[in-house]
Chains A and B, each alone.
Chain A
Amino acid sequence: MKFTRRKAIIGGIVGGGLLGVGFWFARERDRLGSRKLLNIKPGEVGVNGWVKITRDNAVIVAVPRAEMGQGVQTALAMLVAEELNARWDQVRVEDPPEDAVYRNVDILIDGLPFSPEEAGTMVDMAHWMAGKLGGVLGVLATGGSTSVRDAWLPMRTAGAVARDLLLRAASRKAATPVTDLVAVDGEIRRRDGTRVATFGDLVDSVEDLAIRPPPALKQPSEFKLIGRPLPRVDVPAKVTGTAVFGVDVRLPGMLYAAVRNAPTFGGSAIAFKLRQAALPKGIEKVVIVPGGIAAVGASWWRAEKFLDEGIDIQWQAGPEPALDSPTLWKRYEQLLETGAPALTRTLGSAKAPTGGQVLEATYRAPYLAHAPMEPMNCTALARKTAAGAPGIDIWMPNQSPTLMRLAAAKTADVAQAEVVVHTTFLGGGFGRRAEVDLVRQAVTCALAVPDRPVQVLWSREEDIRHDMYRPMALARWRANIDIAGPVPQLAGVAKRQVAQSPTDQFPARTVGLPAQGQPEGNAVENPPYAFPSYRLEAIVADGSVPVGFWRSVGHSHTAFFDESFVDEIAVALKKDPLAFRRELLAGKPRHLKVLETAAREAGWGMPLPAGSGRGIALRASFGSIVAQVAEVAVADGKTLQVKRVICAVDCGPVVNPAIVKAQMESGIVYGLSAALYGEITLAGGAVEQGNFPDYDAVRLADAPEMAVHLVDSGATFIGGVGEPGTPPIAPAVANAVFAATGKRLRTLPLRLA
C-alpha cells in the first residue's frame, strides 16, 4: 500500500509538470556548481558554486538556506571554512542565486510517512525516489531540521576543492611544488611555516585552473572549527538594528498594502463599496487578492485605517461558515470511535492482548498559530525584463524560494525564469514561511500597480486568524496490564489518533496536487520503547481549517500523548517514570544515555519542596534524541510555574555547540508557550483569537531556568536541532504537574483550574 502511495505522489508531482526541471546529481561533487554561479563583484573570484575569495582576503560562502534564527548561516559557513582552512574571522556569507545545486534533498526524504527506524526495500525505494525527486525538482527549502545534514558533504567538499585550487595557484605563483605547501588560517604556507600568500593574494591566479576531483575530506579528529562554539555571523547586524528583514525592504517608489482576509476559511472578497465618493488621500488602489482584499497606498498605517473605516467588503463565505470548536471536537470524537484508519501499524507480538487490567486515557491538543515576531509580509514588483517580457521581483522572508517563485510565476502568468526571489532575514519562520499565500497576494497587488514595488504586510490579527495551523488532535491510548502473576506486567499498548494532515494539505494548496489521505509522518512516528506489543491506528480528518508545518510538526502533539501515557502506565505499575522508561529502552543505548543524562543533571529523585514536582519526557525527532526534565511548582492548587528545565540532546556530530544549545532552549520556550497558553479556537467559522493578549507567549518572567547537555554517543548520523527541542516539553511539564499534585492533565494547553 505504502509503495503505491509513493508512486502516486511522484506521479502526481511529475505528471502535474508544475515545477521547473533540473537534473539529478549522482555524487556530491556534482553539487559543486559552477564558479560562475555566484554574483562576482570586482575584486572577487568564484572558486566554485559555494565559495568566493576577495582581494581583501575575505572568504564568502554561499548559504542557500533561510536564516530564521536557527544559526544556519553560521553552521553552513563553518563546513566550508573547515575544509578550506580559513580563519573564522575572514568568513562572510551571501545568499546565492537560485540553482538546483543548492536544493535540499533531505527535507523531501524526511517528509515521507515512515517511522525512521523502519527499514527494508520499500523504505529504501521511497528514500531513493525522494532523492531522485529532489534532484529533478531542485527544491530550495529550509525546514524539517535538515540543513546541516543536507549540506554536510556538499559544502565540505566545496571547501576542500577550493583549498586544492588555492594550493595549486600558490604553487604556480611561488614556483614551489604543491606537495610542499599547506593551507593554514587563511594563508598558503610552506611546510616550514613561512607564508607564500594569503588567500586574497591568489584572487588573480585561480581563475584559469581546472577544477579537479575533490581531495579526501578531513577526519573528525582533524577538525579545527567544527565542534567549536564560534560566534554567529548574523549577530552584529542584529544588535545594531541594521539586519534587513522582509518588513525593512525599502525600494524607490515603493507602496504599502494592508490586507483583510476573508473571515471564514476558504472564503474570498467578491465586491467592495467605498463609504465616500472617492478613495481618501494616500490610498491609491483597492485590489481583490486571493483570499481577501488589499488597500494599496503611501502608508501601511493609513491603509489599515482605511480598511477599518472607509470600505464595506462583501465576502464569499468558505465551505464551513458556521464551524465552531465544540462541534469539531464532537466530530473528532466520532472519528475516534468509528473512523476508518488511513494507517495501521503493529509492532511486537502480532496478537493484540486482551483482558487483564485495561488502562485508557484520552488526550487533546488544540490548533496552534505560529506567530513569528515578524508579521507576514512580501514585497513584489511587476516589471518588464530587458527583452520586454513581463517579470516579477520578490523580496521576502521565506523558507522556500522555489515555491515562492513558482507561486509568483503562476499568479502573474509569467515564466518562472522571469521571477527573481530575494530572501531577506526571517523574523521567525517555524514552518509558517514555507506557505505561498503572501506571495500570491503581493504579486496580485504588484500587477495592479506595474513598475512600482508593493510591500504587503499583515497586521498581527490577520496573522493569528489566517495561519496554517498546527492541527488539533485527539488520541486515545490503551494499555493492557497482565495481573495474573504476583507482579503486574505490561502486556501491550494501542493508540487511535485523529488529526488533519499537513502533508496532505500543503502540496494541495501550494502546487495543486491531489490529497493522498495519509497522516503526516511525524505525527505517526513510533515511540522508542520496547512494548510487548504496539498497535497504531491513525485516522485522517478532513475539514476546511488550513493546517501546516508548525515547529516539530506532528511530534508537537504526539509526544504529549505518548510521553504522558508512558507516565500513566508507570504509575499504574507502581514504577518510577524514569525506571520504567529505562526498562523499555534496554536495547536502545543512545536513547538511554540521553534519558539518564537529563535525569542525572536534574537531580532526579532528590527531594523537592511541597507543591513541587519533576516530570521527564523523551522524544526522538528529525534524527536527534532529546530528553527533558521539567521542575514545576504549583501554588494554591492552581498557579503553575515551570522553574527549571534540564535538557539532554544527542544530535550526532555537532557543528556548533553554542547554536545547538540555543536551539534547544528556543525549542523549549516555543513549546512551553504552547503548553501553557497556546490555543486557537473557532466560532462562526472564524478564529476567535487575534493578538498576543489572547494568544500569549512565555515572557522573561515565566521563562524557566534552562540547562542543555550535549550527549556524544559517537553516532555519525547528523540529526537536526531546530525542532527536536520542542516536543518533550509539554509532556515533561504535564508529568511534573502530576508529580506535584496527583492531577493528570490530558488536554493542552495545561490548565489546573
Chain B
Amino acid sequence: MISFTLNGQLRQVDAEPDKPLLWTLREDLNVVGPKFGCGVAVCGACTVHVDGTPVRSCSMATGDVAGKSVVTIEGLSQGQLHAVQRAWIENQVPQCGYCQPGFIMAAAALLKANPKPTDRDIDDALSNICRCGTYGAIRRAVHRAAAILGGAS
C-alpha cells in the first residue's frame, strides 16, 4: 500500500512501487485528467504537481510520491476556477484539448514561482508539446493569468 495526498484527500493505493504515477492515477484511482502522450517525460501531457513542483507523471514512480501531495487538473480549482483556467477560457486556448491539462498544470506552477514571467520564461518553463499549435493562445493566456493573479479583473 502506498499512501499520498491526492487533490487534498489522503489516498491509499495497492500499486507496485515502480508503476509510474500516471498509470496509478489513470488505472487505479480513476483520475484521467493527466494524459499519456509519450511515456518518456518529453511531451508534458501528464504533468501534475508533486509538493507544488510540476513533474512528468509518466516518469515518476508511484513509490516516490509516498507521503507527498499530488495535485492534478481535477484538483487545481478550489471552489472556483484557477486563474490559469479562467485565462484559458477567455483566450479560447484549447483545440483538441488533449495536451491542455499538462499545459495548464505547468503554467500554474510557473506563475506560482514567477508571478510576472517574460515570454522567454514561458518558453523555458512550458516545454510541452501541442500538435494543434495553440502556442500563440497559450502565451497570451499565461500573461492574462499573471494579470488575474496580480489583481486584474
Contacts and interface: CB of A to CB of B under 8 A. Distances in A.
B126 interface: yes
B38 A240 contact: no
A631 B109 CA distance: 33
Nearest to B99: A373
A375 B126 CA distance: 21
A692 B100 CA distance: 18
Interface of A: 67-71, 231-232, 234-243, 245, 247-248, 250, 256, 298-302, 371-375, 425-430, 457, 459-460, 658, 662, 665-670, 673, 691-693, 697-701, 703, 705-706
Interface string B70-108: 001110010001000100110011111111110010000
B136 interface: yes
Looking at chain B's contact residues, is the secondary structure mostly helix, strand, loop, or mixed? loop
Given A300-B23, A301-B27, A699-B129, A238 B135 contact: no
B42 A669 contact: no
Given A68-B96, A698-B135, A239 B38 contact: no
B122 A234 contact: no
Contacts of A242: 33
Given A239-B88, A669-B132, 11 more contacts: A299-B19, A301-B20, A425-B98, A429-B96, A457-B36, A658-B92, A669-B133, A700-B139, A701-B127, A705-B136, A706-B136
A699 B127 contact: yes
A300 B104 CA distance: 26
Contacts of B127: 699-701
Contacts of A666: 95, 132-134
B39 A459 contact: yes
A63 to B, nearest CB: 15
A240 B77 contact: yes
27 contacts: A234-B97, A239-B81, A239-B85, A240-B85, A241-B101, A245-B97, A247-B26, A298-B27, A372-B96, A373-B45, A373-B132, A425-B98, A428-B132, A457-B36, A662-B134, A669-B132, A670-B131, A670-B132, A691-B39, A692-B42, A697-B131, A699-B123, A699-B126, A699-B129, A700-B123, A701-B127, A705-B136
Nearest to A304: B39
B131 A371 contact: yes
B43 A373 contact: yes
A427 B77 contact: no
A155 B24 CA distance: 44
Nearest to A70: B95
Contacts of A373: 35, 37, 43, 45, 96, 98-99, 129-132
Given A247-B32, A250-B30, A301-B27, A240 B81 contact: yes
A234 B94 contact: yes
Interface of B: 19-20, 23, 26-27, 30, 32-33, 35-40, 42-43, 45, 72-74, 77, 81, 85, 88-89, 92-101, 104, 122-124, 126-139
Given A240-B77, A301-B19, A426-B96, A697 B129 contact: yes
A247 B35 contact: yes
B124 A701 contact: yes
Contact of B95 (A69, A236, A698): A69
A297 to B, nearest CB: 11
Contacts of A692: 38, 40, 42-43, 129
Contacts of A67: 96
Nearest to B130: A373
Nearest to B30: A250
A457 B132 CA distance: 21
A428 B98 contact: yes
Residue of A231, A248, A699 with most chain B CB atoms under a 10 A cut-off: A699
Nearest to B101: A241
Nearest to B126: A700
Contacts of A668: 133
A457 B58 CA distance: 15
B40 A700 contact: no
Contacts of A667: 133
Contacts of A236: 89
A693 B42 contact: yes
Given A670-B133, A692-B129, A699-B129, A239 B20 contact: no
A665 B131 CA distance: 11
Nearest to A298: B27
Nearest to A425: B97
A256 B73 CA distance: 23
B89 A235 contact: yes
B45 A665 contact: no
A700 B123 CA distance: 5
A211 B96 CA distance: 37
Contacts of B81: 239-240
Contacts of A372: 96, 98, 131
A235 B72 CA distance: 18
Contacts of A235: 88-89, 92-94, 97
Contacts of A670: 131-133
A68 B104 CA distance: 19
Given A239-B100, A248-B32, A374-B96, A300 B133 contact: no
